Amino acid sequence: MFFYKLKDKILISQSEYKELKRISESEAKESKEIIYVLNRINPLKSRRYFSITDPSLIFLKEEGIHLLQKSKKIDYDLPLWLNERIKEKRVSSLNTEYPNWQGVLTYKFPSRWKVNIVGLGDVGGTLLTGLRLLGGSCIESIGIYDKNINAIKRWELEANQIFYPFTAQKFPDVYQLREENIFDCDMFVFCATVGVPSLGEEQEDVRMRQFEGNSKIISDYARKAREKSFKGIFAIISDPVDLLCKAVFLTGNKDTSGEFDFKGLAADQIRGYGLGVMHARAVYYSKQNTETAEYDREGRAFGPHGQGLVIANSLKKYNESLSKVLTDQTVKANLEVRKTGFKPYVAPALSSGSYPLIATMSGKWHYSATFMGGVFMGAKNRLLKSGTEIERLNLPVNLVEKIKENYKELGNIL
């Protein structure tokens, strides 16, 4: 292995980088900072950086759906001190094929986050309420923007009047944003949407009807994020989150001639929040059947927010038929709400929005869609200072095949 020092950070590589300053292994092991392992993978299929949480990930040559599975032990004969750093989650993989890869070395992970929300409709307003109530420990402030100026004024008034007295609890200040300042933040939250089907226009998966309109809006914001050299998290709440994540990545990383230059948002900066409510809906339906009652403790959700979702009733006692019933109930849950005469937005705004956004900022486990080999795939993960850690499991073979099938279909859409 080669050892280097750049911007006061320690870098390790299996191959030589002649432009970097070489150092000894003894000097490298003295550093208390995060260690960065350099690699070269096509950015269309890989993240800029991620957390190396076990040795099998250290010299990864390919990313994909296999990131969900525990790997067989690979003996790289790593130094003891490096293995210890991996256990401490203080080692990152860093892809030097991204032109802006060195930006990772100087990025300051926020202790308290500045969050900006675009879109103050049913979902955006409810999500804002959740963040104001629950996010004081990790959110410094919340900027809000909408094309409707009265919506901005209304929510600035309403949100700042959500308050509980006689407590040390912090409530993030909510303030009005100008459009030119929407990327002055640590986390940008996209809640804008068009084409939400009216009541009475139900179909199997209403989310896909929104993709055409929402992708046009979000692609414009992807280009603006590129122009601003945005360094934070681009969080997507609007449907369909998985495909909109991909649209942001593809659009934002092309130059004016339409060629990829990867100078926009890195894949690891983009996260889709839709799986949280699908898990919550699965929990709701699981409690109605004694055979699936342990889902909340033993089960998992994988995949997109809608068709292609995979609910596993239990990782200990996986049952394909029970899982299929639970998946079908979960996918159609939004239609059940619509039958009552109301649009389903409260649970999505809180279970897919407020809670997992706060978990992301706090470094806690949650459900969201992150980049896996060219596809934004929903799974349990957390964001650490060393990068994203995706939960790795010993999955049953038939469950793995189902996840792979839906992963492939999701990748073929866009």
Share of the chain above pLDDT 70, in %: 96
pLDDT digit string, tens, across residues 223-236: 999 999 999 999 99
How far is residue 68 from each of residues 113, 142, 170, 342, measured CA to CA in Å? 29, 33, 36, 36
The pLDDT, as a whole number, for residue 50 is 98
Q: How many CB atoms lie within 10 A of CB 336?
A: 13
- The Cα 86–Cα 1 span in angstroms is 16
Domains of the chain as residue ranges with CATH: 2-106 (no CATH), 113-272 (3.40.50.720), 275-413 (3.90.110.10)
pLDDT digit string, tens, across residues 123-178: 999 999 999 999 999 999 999 999 999 999 999 999 999 999 999 999 999 999 99
Radius of gyration of the chain (CA): 22
What's the token pair of residue 409? 């279909």
Helix, strand, or coil here: 36? strand
The model's pTM is: 0.96
pLDDT digit string, tens, across residues 329-377: 999 999 999 999 999 999 999 999 999 999 999 999 999 999 999 999 9
pLDDT digit string, tens, across residues 180-237: 999 999 999 999 998 666 676 655 556 667 888 899 999 999 999 999 999 999 999 9
- The Cα 141–Cα 139 span in angstroms is 6
Q: Residue 254 forms beta bridges with which residues?
A: 260
The amino acid at residue 397 is V
- The Cα 287–Cα 300 span in angstroms is 15
- The Cα 296–Cα 299 span in angstroms is 6
Q: Which of 278, 329, 325, 270 is nearest to 300 (CA)?
A: 278
